[in-house]
Chain A
Amino acid sequence: MVDLSVQIGDLRLKNPIMPASGTFSEDLATMLDINTLGALVTKTITHGIRQGNPTPRVCEVAGSMLNSIGIPSKGVDYFRNVTVPYYQAYDSPLVVSISGNTTDEFAQLCEAVSVPGVAAIEVNISCPNIEEDGKAFAMRPSSTLDVMRKLRAATDLPLWAKLTPNTGETSDVARAAQEGGADALVVCNTMLAMSIDVQSRKPRLGNLMGGLSGPSLKPIALRMAYQCAKAVDIPVIGCGGISTTEDVLEYLIAGASAVQVGTATFINPTAMIRIIAELEAYMVAYNFSKMTDIINSVRDEEAADTVVFMETAP
């Protein structure tokens, strides 16, 4: 019998596959039994109601996509009154993704979503911080540490810090998040990108720039997950460009304890179900009985020392 369960801090997940924030909602229940997923991660919510960015909010680039949705949110009251009760019907842990423009606003929301029914809070510190000229909190170790300390003080629930690939200080940011009180790292968010229509000469997103996601992000996000797993003692949850079971295995071998599947669900809404089944079949085929047989099994050996030099290329 294969045991697919994994441990993320105090939380035991039935398997390491969960949706990435922004690519999942109650709507996926029309396609599959969402109770089969390791965890249920909401789209990022903000304290107040937000409309989001102008359209077009999405465009495709070679083998991947760009999005600039702008976090439309129904606010914290809707989340507490409608979203949390909805997910009570499922036993997969509910993880709420939150964001704030300032450290104080972020911390207030963190406290407000710490209600029964929420198993963990994914803090989207990849979002712009208006106190730092719009630079994302997780671009720098200092702003990461500041915001994580305030968030840590605001809740007793597990905090998962979602990091950004738009940084040159991956390992330092990861250590700052851990020092600030994160229980796990989610590595990583989308990478800032752009696309222009050469006929009209207009940027192809209404917001001009947006986040790259999909298979072309994977090698970058995998490198970051590996660096973070080396840098911290808390679990790393890999995220970025996963669409196959092999992609999942790469992240697990690199040191991730679980993974989030995002854009792949847009292409194949049943992708996560398929991956869970294939992962189990893989475990059986290779005589593995538990996920820790695979997690962090990368054979980097002496070469691991070079990780420190990789910091030069972020």
Chain B
Amino acid sequence: MTVAVVDVTPGIVPANEQVFETECQVISNSPVNNDYRLLVLAAPAEILNCTPGQFFHLQCPVREGLQPYLRRPMSIYGYFPEKGELQFLYKIAGTGTAALATLAPGEPLNVVGPLGQGFDIRDDWQNLLLLARGVGLATLAPLALEAHKRGKTLTAICSARSPEMLMSIDYFRDLGANIITVTDSEETSGLENLEKLIEGLIATNGIDAFYTCGSNRLLKLLQTLGARHNISGQIALEQQMACGLGMCQCCVRSFQSPTGIVHKRVCKEGPVFDLQEAMGW
């Protein structure tokens, strides 16, 4: 098996030709449940020319006892040019997000973006299935909004540890999505049940495209179903990053290609990739 270097073939949706380093002001930064917080920034219109699935690179504040150095990549939860807002949904997972959680309204946050290639919603795709777990739903939220604007039919399967940990359900419901919740505590989130559920959806209404992110398990399941029924799909992936702009080559992952396995940069060729090209981890 040969491994070639970064393949710079154009991605699904072209990345922005201009990227900005901007100081935004925090409007609010509060918990939405025990695990997750919503950060709302006042942002200039120039940086809100986003595509669902894109991310920003955040310079988390340095505090006593919390001294993040590198920026932290974070997928966009919401971008609203009409009201000048940029939103991120996050979980405190380390130094960077812990520092982010200390931001108070009125404080500045330096952001770089929008970055990367977003999701594609092809005109001939009508019935879209979104499948994600936990904070993965944050990445799919702007996709759901865009799909709704384009009159697509949405089904969202939302997975979590327990019903109270399910997030953004109302958000998806307000967009007219058919919501299916599965949880570990109700023993409905297993792969067998998910496969049965999705097979049912394919048999009744049909599905034109799968969208997911984050989970190796869900990736494998959708790859199998996609191959079985010839359904396209896209996945948003993560990787440790330094620059976020494509320069440093830190954030590569392996992908299947017709010529063998290739490395692609999650920040530049991604973070959204073709479902069947993505490789499990």
Q: A23 contacts B247, CB within 8 Å?
A: yes
B133 close to A (CB within 8 Å): no
B275 close to A (CB within 8 Å): no
B6: contacting residue among A23, A24, A28, A74, CB under 8 A: A74
User: Assuming the A-B contacts A30-B19, A63-B67, are A43 and B249 also in contact, with contact meaning beta carbons closer than 8 angstroms in the complex?
Assistant: yes
B247: contacting residue among A43, A61, A267, CB under 8 A: A43
Nearest-CB distance from A141 to chain B (Å)? 31
User: Assuming the A-B contacts A72-B252, A266-B70, are A30 and B243 also in contact, with contact meaning beta carbons closer than 8 angstroms in the complex?
Assistant: no
A63: chain B residues within 8 A (beta carbon) = 67, 69
Q: A72 contacts B18, CB within 8 Å?
A: no
B239: chain A residues within 8 A (beta carbon) = 55
User: Assuming the A-B contacts A55-B253, A65-B242, are A24 and B70 also in contact, with contact meaning beta carbons closer than 8 angstroms in the complex?
Assistant: no
Nearest-CB distance from B183 to chain A (Å)? 27
Q: A267 contacts B19, CB within 8 Å?
A: no
B248: chain A residues within 8 A (beta carbon) = 22-23, 58, 67, 69, 266
State which residues 1-48 of A face B: CB under 8 Å: 22-25, 27-28, 30-31, 43
B71: contacting residue among A49, A59, A73, A266, CB under 8 A: A266
Q: A58 contacts B240, CB within 8 Å?
A: yes
B21: chain A residues within 8 A (beta carbon) = 31, 268-270
A85: chain B residues within 8 A (beta carbon) = none
Size bin of chain B's contact surface: 35 or more
B249: chain A residues within 8 A (beta carbon) = 43, 52, 57, 69, 72
Residue of B nearest to A82 (CB): B8
State which residues 212-227 of A face B: CB under 8 Å: 214
User: Assuming the A-B contacts A27-B247, A267-B69, are A50 and B19 also in contact, with contact meaning beta carbons closer than 8 angstroms in the complex?
Assistant: no
B246: contacting residue among A25, A55, A57, A64, CB under 8 A: A25
User: Assuming the A-B contacts A60-B70, A64-B69, A214-B69, are A28 and B247 also in contact, with contact meaning beta carbons closer than 8 angstroms in the complex?
Assistant: yes
A314 close to B (CB within 8 Å): no
Size bin of chain A's contact surface: 35 or more
Residue of A nearest to B115 (CB): A30
User: Assuming the A-B contacts A72-B5, A268-B21, are A57 and B250 also in contact, with contact meaning beta carbons closer than 8 angstroms in the complex?
Assistant: yes
State which residues 48-83 of B face A: CB under 8 Å: 59, 67-71
B251: chain A residues within 8 A (beta carbon) = 55, 57
Nearest-CB distance from A190 to chain B (Å)? 12
Q: A65 contacts B70, CB within 8 Å?
A: yes
B19: chain A residues within 8 A (beta carbon) = 30-31, 269
Q: B5 contacts A73, CB within 8 Å?
A: yes
User: Assuming the A-B contacts A214-B69, A266-B71, are A28 and B5 also in contact, with contact meaning beta carbons closer than 8 angstroms in the complex?
Assistant: no
User: Assuming the A-B contacts A58-B70, A72-B6, A72-B263, are A52 and B245 also in contact, with contact meaning beta carbons closer than 8 angstroms in the complex?
Assistant: no
Q: B263 contacts A27, CB within 8 Å?
A: no
Residue of B nearest to A206 (CB): B240
State which residues 63-119 of B face A: CB under 8 Å: 67-71, 110, 112
A56 close to B (CB within 8 Å): yes
A313 close to B (CB within 8 Å): no
A51: contacting residue among B5, B67, B244, B250, CB under 8 A: B5
A23: chain B residues within 8 A (beta carbon) = 243, 247-248
Nearest-CB distance from A83 to chain B (Å)? 12
A292 close to B (CB within 8 Å): no
Q: Interface residues, chain B, CB within 8 Å of chain A?
A: 3-6, 15-21, 59, 67-71, 110, 112, 239-253, 263, 268
Besides A51-B5, A67-B242, 11 other CB < 8 A contacts?
A: A23-B248, A31-B112, A43-B249, A50-B5, A57-B252, A58-B240, A60-B69, A60-B70, A63-B69, A266-B70, A269-B21
Minimum-distance CB pairs A-B, first 4: A27-B246, A58-B250, A57-B250, A30-B19
Q: List 21 A-B contacts (CB under 8 A).
A: A22-B247, A23-B243, A30-B18, A30-B245, A31-B18, A31-B19, A31-B21, A51-B5, A57-B249, A58-B248, A59-B240, A60-B68, A60-B70, A61-B69, A62-B69, A63-B69, A65-B242, A72-B249, A265-B247, A266-B70, A266-B71
